[in-house]
Amino acid sequence: MATIHDVATKAGVSVTTVSRVLNNRGYISEKTRKKVFDIMAELNYQPNEIARSLLRKQSNVIGLIIPMVSHPFFSELANYVEYYAYQAGFKVMLCNSQLDPAKERDYIEMLKRNRVDGIIMGSHTLDVEEYRHLHSPIVTIDRQIDDEIPSISSDNYRGGEIATELLVRKGCRKIAHICGNQELHMLSNLRTNAFHETARKQGVQHITIQTDMNVFDQKQYERIIDTLLEEHPDTDGIFATSDIIAAFAVKGCIRVGKRVPQDVRIIGYDDVNAASWLNPEITSIRQPIGEMGRMAVELIRKQLEGKPFKVENVLPVQLVERSTT
Amino acid sequence: MATIHDVATKAGVSVTTVSRVLNNRGYISEKTRKKVFDIMAELNYQPNEIARSLLRKQSNVIGLIIPMVSHPFFSELANYVEYYAYQAGFKVMLCNSQLDPAKERDYIEMLKRNRVDGIIMGSHTLDVEEYRHLHSPIVTIDRQIDDEIPSISSDNYRGGEIATELLVRKGCRKIAHICGNQELHMLSNLRTNAFHETARKQGVQHITIQTDMNVFDQKQYERIIDTLLEEHPDTDGIFATSDIIAAFAVKGCIRVGKRVPQDVRIIGYDDVNAASWLNPEITSIRQPIGEMGRMAVELIRKQLEGKPFKVENVLPVQLVERSTT
DNA sequence: CAGTATATGTCAATCGTTTGACACATGTCA
DNA sequence: TGACATGTGTCAAACGATTGACATATACTG
């Protein structure tokens, strides 16, 4: 790879001059500028960003830690993060924690060693303390660490409320809620709180089933649904905490001969693209994933630039009614 | 951030000693080693990988360029690439081209400026020439550049053959094939060749519909299916080049009152996870995505280490029969 | 006691780029 | 003529780590 030195020699100028051309500073004649650019093209010169980063103490890299990209919610989030990061001149480093604390910790250290400009945390398997000592700007998705670290989430409580209310309004008398593992202290636990309170207030029977801590395990979903329908055959409403789980609920119902939505009404969560590929299309609570991604990048930038930012960012959710309710 | 210098000073030793501890070379007493590690922990020291990369001329970063992560095939591929890269000590930089040549080119240059150790190309919107001049090790997914650059693909021709044969065997007499844009010169075009040849050989009516160059556009899929069913109402078999398109085909059929698989048999491609969330579950041609990801990382490594490697890597596909055929 | 293994230090170069200080032209304008 | 703008050069330090050469000191072994 050619260096700035090679370019300077070949162009018959000094490295300072080349650097000046490259960074547009100081006086440069049109003739020299052209000459330098020509040589750069000829040598296929690409300035070494590693050397620049070292000097500038800025890598322009954002680390994105999520449980796994192949989960639709996170793959869509990653897609938007990449989109807005690119627009802002950042590169994104993809880190799947697989919800393994050791891997998550390892990735955090790796990102620090690589002096990333910021970390977007979509996985949270460690203790609050461990996140607090991070020096780089971070932003968390769906979890609050403390009142210094900005977090982004959608209005989980409201989402749980809307979902439960819809099922009640549609006439469900016994509603099951399948939620994620509550031990992770995610803000999504609020959906479950909302479910309990709303169901109680409305006076309908309700049960809650927690999934294991695995990111996503189809077999587990199938088992949970089967058990649910067997132990509570009179269930007439299911509020699943993701569209994928809702999809398995639909399949489970059909397997045992129940019609959706006539016998069982089902609502998912997230409103990922896949929710509308399914048949029947799944009613869902839409999280503004694009906006969450945009805001995550923006919050990193604001921290880097020392600008003020809001610590708690709760975005509105929206009911998207389709065919399963 | 603490530097190796701070650690040395605080530990009362020289930077050389700290470096020796860090890199496990030369003689170090247990006492000093412990002392240094203690201070490193105390100062929360993380060696600056940027400085190391500069010196070693090795960044341990792999660039992954794909059309978009939110497409299930690529999100699963990205997931595996991350998995194997992590195991091998690499970080992965996520680049979505959106099938925009300008963005793809820009990303390639960015990756070169950042001196990545290798590039996995899953997006191919540029001319062969542009890829050929890349200096870093690259590996392509689903496209052949020349006989120097290793490529990975699954057996697209065989996949197309199996899919078509299955539909014929099931009794289809008029089969439609929905394929991706053929201008991209991807190896997946072989599926279409296989479709034509097999259908002709078997003597069944067949039509082919090409999608636009967009990565994925639900509206477009819906339109294509609607038009197909309207213009060719006697279609009784559909071979879609992705499971997502197949999902839309299923929905389209049901919309116009056709039963799947009784009236129309549908087969998808890739066998992404989503294929089994759907209802009915989609019959598909399975690409070994995990193996492709593993091999991509391995081929980068082999090039880096100067080991011999195979240029053309075609992996077997497999029929996964479910409910839509 | 000589020789060697162990333990640590100093010093300087290197990776590729940026940047500030300073020097020295040439040209232009008032 | 002097002041200033323009254009380019040299030099050196800095970013943070690694590494080889070499020096020195202690401890042990045969």
Residues 6+ apart with CB under 8 A from B115: A1, A48, A49, A50, B53, B57, B59, B136
- Quick one: tokens of B84? 């194997």
Count CB-CB contacts under 10 A for residue A86: 20
- Quick one: tokens of A146? 């403390």
Distance from CA(A64) to C1'(C16), angstroms, rounded:
28
Letter for the amino acid at A17? T
Percent pLDDT > 90 in chain A is 86
- CA pair distance A219, A209, nearest whole angstrom: 15
- CA pair distance B22, B16, nearest whole angstrom: 10
- Quick one: tokens of A185? 């202290």
| CATH code, B57-154+290-315 | 3.40.50.2300
Which helix (H) or strand (E) segment is B10 a member of?
Answer: helix B4-11
Chain A, chain B: beta-carbon pairs less than 8 Å apart: 148
- CA pair distance A146, B293, nearest whole angstrom: 38
- CA pair distance B306, B150, nearest whole angstrom: 13
Interchain contact, A94 vs B96, CB within 8 Å: no
- Chain B residues with CB inside 8 Å of A61's CB? 93
CA distance B70 to chain A (A): 5
A298 phi and psi, to 5 degrees? -65, -40
Q: CA A117, A118, A121 angle in degrees (round to 5)? A: 160
Q: What is the DSSP letter of B88?
A: T
Partner residue facing A135 (CB), from B1, B48, B248: B1
Indicate where chain A has its CATH 1.10.260.40 domain(s): 4-47
- The answer, yes or no, to whether residue A257 has pLDDT greater than 80, is yes
Q: For B289, which residue in chain A has the nearest alpha carbon?
A: A70
- CA pair distance A16, A313, nearest whole angstrom: 46
Handedness of CA A133, A137, A140, A144 (dihedral sign): positive
Q: What is the DSSP letter of B89?
A: T
- The answer, yes or no, to whether residue A215 has pLDDT greater than 70, is no
pLDDT, mean of residues A278-295: 96
Q: Is residue A92 within 8 Å of residue B93, measured between CB atoms?
A: yes
Q: Is residue A141 within 8 Å of residue A170, measured between CB atoms?
A: no
Fold of A156-288: Rossmann fold (3.40.50)
- Quick one: tokens of B57? 């001329």
- CA pair distance A316, A321, nearest whole angstrom: 16
Indicate where chain A has its CATH 3.40.50.2300 domain(s): 58-154+290-315, 156-288
Q: What is the pLDDT of residue A196?
A: 97
Q: Which CATH class, in words, describes the domain spanning A58-154+290-315?
A: alpha beta
Output b/e per residue, B117-156; b: 16+ Cβ within 10 A. bbbbbbbbbeeeeebeebebbbbbbbbbbeeebbbbbbbb
Q: Which CATH class, in words, describes the domain spanning B156-287?
A: alpha beta
Nucleotides of C under 7 A from a protein CB: 6-12, 14-21
> Please, is B259 exposed, middle or buried when counting C-beta atoms within 10 Å of its C-beta (0-12, 13-18, 19+)?
exposed
| CATH code, A4-47 | 1.10.260.40
User: What DSSP letter does each residue of B161-202 carry, written as one string?
Assistant: HHHHHHHHHTT-SEEEEEE--GGG--TTHHHHHHHHHHHHHH
CA distance B289 to chain A (A): 12
C-alpha atoms less than 13 angstroms from C-alpha of A142 in its C-beta half-sphere:
26
**Ramachandran sector of residue A54 (left: φ over 0; alpha: ψ -120 to 50; beta: rest):** alpha
Distance from CA(B36) to C1'(D29), angstroms, rounded:
31
Q: Map tokens 């789980």 to a residue.
A: A245
- Quick one: tokens of B240? 């879609």
Residues 6+ apart with CB under 8 A from A52: none
Distance from CA(A6) to C1'(D12), angstroms, rounded:
20
Letter for the amino acid at B80? Y
Q: What is the pLDDT of residue B215?
A: 67
| pLDDT tens-place values along chain B, 325 residues long | 899 999 999 999 999 999 999 999 889 988 889 999 999 999 999 999 999 999 999 999 999 999 999 999 999 999 999 999 999 999 999 999 999 999 999 999 999 999 999 999 999 999 888 888 887 899 999 999 989 999 999 999 999 999 999 999 999 999 999 999 888 889 999 999 999 999 999 999 999 999 987 667 888 999 999 999 999 999 999 999 999 999 999 999 999 999 999 999 999 999 999 998 998 999 999 999 999 999 999 999 999 999 999 999 999 999 999 999 9
Q: What are A124-179's pLDDT values in tens digits?
A: 999 888 888 887 899 999 999 989 999 999 999 999 999 999 999 999 999 999 99
Of B83, B93, B60, B118, the residue nearest B309 (C-alpha): B118
Residues 6+ apart with CB under 8 A from A309: A150, A299, A302, A303
- CA pair distance B67, B97, nearest whole angstrom: 5
Average pLDDT along chain A: 94
Query: CA of A177: how far to CAs of A156, A167, A209, A216, A222, in Å?
Result: 14, 11, 6, 17, 15
Indicate where chain B has its CATH 3.40.50.2300 domain(s): 57-154+290-315, 156-287
Q: Map tokens 């519909």 to a residue.
A: B209
Cross-strand pairs, B199? none
Nucleotides of D under 7 A from a protein CB: 6-12, 14-21
Q: CA B196, B200, B205 angle in degrees (round to 5)? A: 90
pLDDT, mean of residues A233-246: 96
